[in-house]
Amino acid sequence: MPSSNFPQNRRHMLGLGLGLGLGATMSPLSRALAADAPLTFQLSWIKSIQYGGYFAGLEHGSFSSNNIQVAFNSGGPNVDPLANVATGRAQLGDRPIGPIIVARERGIPIKVIATVFQRSPFSIISLADKPIRSIKELKGKTVAVATSNKPLMLNLIRDAGLDPDSVNMVPSAPDPSALVSGQIDAYSGYSTNQGVMLETRGVKIFSLNAHDLGMPETAGTIYGREDFLNANRQQVVRFLKGAIGGWQWALSNKEQTARLMVDKYGAPGLDYKAQFAEIVASEPFIKAGPANAKGLLAIDMALYEKIIGIYRKVDIVKSDMTAASLCDPSFINAALASS
């Protein structure tokens, strides 16, 4: 997973604007696809174990058994995944919920249809021998925060009764090594990614999960353009059935899934030990909340309502957005009912 929840730079925001500008003219998306037409799914980051369920589905037939052909396009630092979906270069995609809310607020006609990580592993990470166990303990400390995450971090700091000026926030990098060198006291990132990265290097850490602090998020949030979703309902449901099957297999066969990513599907240079550790660490976040009661990839509408409320509190959402306008759970509900 990338290390921040929101668009990280001006180029990305321009990409969102581009998606908005082109969105109204992309009428070809409204045409229904043939039952066996291939789908393109835009990943928000490079191909790695955080997408292991999708590639397990390719390898073990849960997509083909549902008559779905799908290509998963890699994301990364030079890819604007939301713009690729908004402009029709991909039909579906995944993102942390933050950029999706930002795009929806800007008028891009996308909807959330499923959730892989029911709880985001986004955390404030510190060294185990110098743990930061609460927001109040950030006073006088230096914490690396993505620029686009500052509004929510400032909200947490204020809610803890701290003066924001008492916390030194500096820009974060994808690699958390500055924590080890002592340049920073804490790093805001994913415990399943940057946290695992440190642990597999032999660094003991302490993670303060943002969800537990009252900053709920989802990650691996599956979304698509409304016109495509409406015109291709059955194909989207069948895709979700294939994804559910793939994630079920991946979580039941973690070693094999890690090996698949390293040997066949993942980006070059992946480390097996780190990939295996990441899927083990990810399982509780994937199986949390409604996934435990309803099934994998289910949508928790009450959680999304709460997330929108927090984004409204920090002035990211200024419209009358609701969970019902952001999400359409009918797709995943249909997939779960027939799986």
pLDDT for position 34? 56
Higher-confidence position of 13 and 317? 317
Spatial neighbors of 88 by CB under 8 A, at least 6 apart, are 22, 26, 28, 29, 225, 228
Q: How many CB atoms within 10 Å of residue 183? A: 11
Instruction: For residues 188 and 192, give the distance between their C-alpha atoms in angstroms, rounded to a whole number.
Output: 12
- Whether 121 has a pLDDT exceeding 60, the answer reads yes
Instruction: For residues 245 and 126, give the distance between their C-alpha atoms in angstroms, rounded to a whole number.
Output: 36
Reported confidence tier of residue 339, pLDDT bands at 50, 70, 90:
confident
Backbone φ and ψ for 123, nearest 5 degrees, come out as -145, 165
What does the pLDDT average to over 65-93?
Answer: 95
- Whether 300 has a pLDDT exceeding 80, the answer reads yes
pLDDT for position 32? 55
- pLDDT digit string (tens) for 69-78? 999 999 988 8
Spatial neighbors of 223 by CB under 8 A, at least 6 apart, are 85, 92, 93, 94, 95, 100, 110, 111, 112, 113
Residue 215 · residue 121 · CB < 8 Å: no
Reported confidence tier of residue 36, pLDDT bands at 50, 70, 90:
low
Instruction: For residues 239 and 70, give the distance between their C-alpha atoms in angstroms, rounded to a whole number.
Output: 8
Order across the sheet with 110-117: list the strands. 70-73, 39-42, 92-95, 219-225, 110-117
Please give the distance of CA 264 from its chain centroid, rounded to a whole number: 23
pLDDT for position 298? 98
Residue 53 · residue 243 · CB < 8 Å: yes
Instruction: For residues 208 and 202, give the distance between their C-alpha atoms in angstroms, rounded to a whole number.
Output: 19
pLDDT for position 110? 97
- Whether 1 has a pLDDT exceeding 90, the answer reads no
Identify the CA nearest to 51 among candidates 309, 267, 287.
267
What would the CATH number be for the domain defined by 122-213?
Answer: 3.40.190.10
pLDDT for position 214? 87
The fourth-level CATH superfamily of domain 10-120+217-338 is Periplasmic binding protein-like II (3.40.190.10)
Q: How many CB atoms within 10 Å of residue 182? A: 10
Instruction: For residues 69 and 42, give the distance between their C-alpha atoms in angstroms, rounded to a whole number.
Output: 14
pLDDT for position 150? 87
Residue 196 · residue 278 · CB < 8 Å: yes
Q: What is the DSSP letter of 181?
A: H
What does the pLDDT average to over 66-89?
Answer: 95
Instruction: For residues 167 and 159, give the distance between their C-alpha atoms in angstroms, rounded to a whole number.
Output: 14
Residue 131 · residue 206 · CB < 8 Å: yes
Lowest mean pLDDT among 26-40, 94-108, 155-169, 274-288: 26-40
pLDDT for position 59? 98
What stretch(es) of the chain map to CATH 3.40.190.10?
Answer: 10-120+217-338, 122-213
pLDDT for position 174? 85
Residue 186 · residue 124 · CB < 8 Å: yes
What does the pLDDT average to over 233-261?
Answer: 98
pLDDT for position 66? 97
Cα angle at 142 between 137 and 146, to 5 degrees?
Answer: 110
Instruction: For residues 234 and 226, give the distance between their C-alpha atoms in angstroms, rounded to a whole number.
Output: 14
Q: How many CB atoms within 10 Å of residue 326? A: 23
Q: How many CB atoms within 10 Å of residue 27? A: 9
Average pLDDT, the chain: 90
- Whether 27 has a pLDDT exceeding 50, the answer reads no
Reported confidence tier of residue 37, pLDDT bands at 50, 70, 90:
confident
Residue 339 · residue 66 · CB < 8 Å: no
What does the pLDDT average to over 213-223?
Answer: 94
